[in-house]
Amino acid sequence: MRTAGCGYSARPMNGGRLAGKVALITGAANGLGRVAAELFAAEGAQVVIGDVIDASAAVDAIRVAGGVAASVPLDVSDDASVAAAVAHTVATFGGLHVLYNNAGISPADDDGPVNTSDATWDAVLDINVTGVARCCRHGIPAMLESGGGSIINVASFVAHVGAATPQIAYTSSKGAVLAMTREIATIYARQGIRVNALCPGPVLTPLLAKFLSDDDKRQRRLVHIPMGRFGEPIEIAKAALFLASDDSSFMTGQSLLIDGGITAAYTTPD
């Protein structure tokens, strides 16, 4: 299972799809965010990794591959931390063109509406929804000063179909991200900022692995995926690259589903 390292040689080139761009990616010290950070750097972006944990390994990997990267402490639940991270990005690389709001949580005690506590609900909504809003609050002025750019908000396929395994706070938070994305996209469409939501399906990460402890549990999830397999982190990163680059220049306020066909099909559990 590949959870970090996209396998790309991160040599910034003039022809890279993100050449000359500065990207701030939240929650990118590991997992899907790190894979995206490495891919963005391989496509020429100057990448800032913002996370609550140490991101030095991710930064080192990008630099060893020939890319340009820096890290900054970033807690999306703290408005001052978000403001400082954006300011650090601009001070380090001279602007901000891509804001990839990847940070999010999915606590084990997030259950149905009857069993999920207020504390869990509040924590999930604060990180997954208000955290995205905080990043946009401080990131958008910097992007306007930089001439515009692309905001990518990570939602989920469960925002479209609901989760078979109860996770009411997480599912609600991702639905809110979709609504927020459309609103911000509409506000800034004529000011050079595009805003889209990325909605991954089940992807092979440590977060998913904890639910796949035996073959029966694995198969019960695979039966819902028409393609018959889980996604790979690099497949999500490539979708994020599309949204970050000018390849999606006429796309804003949309939800890009990368889910192996889950939301396109009706399936019943075993």
Which residues are known catalytic residues? Answer: 170
* HSE, side-chain direction, 13 A CA sphere, residue 37: 35
253 contacts 196 by C-beta, under 8 angstroms? yes
159 contacts 199 by C-beta, under 8 angstroms? yes
Q: Residue 145: how many CB atoms within 10 A of its CB?
A: 11
User: Residue 199 to residues 117, 141, 202: CA-CA distances in angstroms?
Assistant: 26, 25, 10
Helical segments of 28-102, H only: 31-42, 56-64, 79-93
- Two structure tokens written together for 267: 């399936």
Q: Give the DSSP H or E segment for 258.
A: strand 255-258
For residue 112, give the nearest of 166, 48, 160, 38 by alpha carbon.
166
Residue in the block written with tokens 């991954």: 200
Q: Residue 60: how many CB atoms within 10 A of its CB?
A: 12
Angle at 231 between CA 46 and CA 12, to 5 degrees: 20
Side chain identity at residue 267, one-letter code: T
- Strand 193-200: give its sheet, edge to edge: 68-73, 46-51, 22-26, 98-101, 149-154, 193-200, 255-258
